[in-house]
Amino acid sequence: MFIEELDRFIRPGIRVHLSGIGGVSMAPLSEVLLDRGLIISGSDTRETEVVERLRSLGMTVHIGQRAENLGDAQFLIRTAAVHDDNPEILEARRRGIPVFERAQAWGWFMRSYPNAICVAGTHGKTTTTSMLAYILAEAGRDPTVSLGGTLPILTNGHRIGKGDDFVIEACEYFNSFLSFFPTIAVIMNVDADHLDFFHNLDNIKDAFANFASRVPEGGCIVKSFHDPNTEEALSRADLNGKTILSFGLEEGADLRGVNLDESGRITHLEVLFRGEHYTDLDLQVLGRANVIDALAACAVAHYLGVDGKAVHDALLKFSGAGRRFEYRGTVKGALVYDDYGHHPEELKAVMDICRQFSPKRLLVAFQPHTYTRTIALFDDFVEVLKQPDKVFLAEIYAAREENTTGISSADLAARIPGSRFCGSVEDTAEALRAEARPGDLIVTIGAGDITKAAAILTR
């Protein structure tokens, strides 16, 4: 088992190479390893502020992935985006250097924390993890945090603390979360996604069932009260000896939001735990999805015994994680926001927030993420993208894939009335600039590099 193997390698003085070291989960992992006394080298595809930071800590970071980068590394850890045909992986195999997955290394570390809080779900992981980071820090618990985004209080996407709490996003892609050892497993929702890996939704439910089963007796599963796919997944899991807590707005949820007021730019609600007042929330972040994420964070906080006032004070300060409906500036009198959404349900959540602004017009620039997701969810994307007043489509962001089917964002444009296929991110930005008017709300959406369009518009 990988745990016993990593026991041999995660020791002071051992040399480790991280392929993809600049990634949002790999960078904090490198710092944790450095703190344990290991000697770190790594590689990434480009220069970034994260890479510069890692170098400033004494790590050797190469740009470009080549066999010679391994040097005298004694083991290698790779991100999921680094595949078996990568030259560093091929060289490690040739030399007999053990190769571990990023998730396996995180799984090894979290075993030493009394509270390993793993936040899973198709949507809402980053925001819920971020909210928990705020809450636990406000409560003085000094948590260790790793999330798939950036957060102002962290200045990046991670925090190395000295407390008993370890909070991490638990991604289902490639079954990564099945290398984790949660004592508290949070399941936000279960939906069809990553269909380039999973066969179908039923296969995804099995993965979440296995994830929930990894919680030991005496641990806790925090689940959405209103998601039928989550219920189906948990019906397949081993729940013996585990505390099950639900969250939601509906009557019957263990941790329930009531008296919800979304009429202004601050969302207010009262939070009850099994009918008893726990705290009040005043949220800067708008939209029903953020309310649900906050309730999930509250459920974990209550289970850990965090005082309700600390929860309120923390979430009052929370202004969102990076690229989660993030304000970027203005152009020609129009407001510009940027969001990471790349699934139809996430786009629906963004539209929900936009409606609260009551803009004269809503202009959306969308960049689909991966060919397989675009094909699998094509009709759902078409339906949700009929909602804005105007839609500008950048070409699909390939990420890890090759386009073997010829699918294009132009195919979406052909089905969405009044939409426009722009191609490049730069052309998309210029089309938005030409269209923008005072009173418009512009949102750039996607998990690729569409965020550059927001930067071009507001610079």
The reply to whether 345 belongs to the active site is no
Residue found under tokens 């969001």: 339
Catalytic, out of 122, 126, 129, 183: 126
Catalytic, out of 91, 101, 169, 172: 169
Contact 268, 281 (CB under 8 A): yes
Residue found under tokens 């409606």: 355
DSSP characters over 387-444: SSSEEEEEPPB-TT---SS---HHHHHHHSTT-EEEESHHHHHHHHHHH--TTEEEEE
d(CA 365, CA 434): 13
Q: Is the dihedral of CA 334, 339, 342, 344 positive or negative?
A: negative
Per-residue exposure over 235-260, b if at least 16 CB sit within 10 Å of its own CB, e if not:
eebebeebeebbbbbeeebbbbbeee
Q: How far is C-alpha 313 from the chain's CA centre?
A: 23
Q: How many CA atoms lie within 13 A of 373 on its CB side?
A: 24
d(CA 293, CA 321): 12
Q: How far is C-alpha 290 from the chain's CA centre?
A: 14
Best CA proximity match to 128, nearest among 136, 304, 266, 141: 136
DSSP characters over 307-327: -HHHHHHHHHH----TTSSEE
The reply to whether 60 belongs to the active site is no
d(CA 212, CA 222): 10
The reply to whether 126 belongs to the active site is yes
d(CA 86, CA 65): 8
d(CA 88, CA 18): 10
Best CA proximity match to 145, nearest among 128, 282, 56: 128
Residue 161 per-residue DSSP state: -
Indicate the residue type of 18.
Answer: L
Residues forming the active site: 125-126, 169
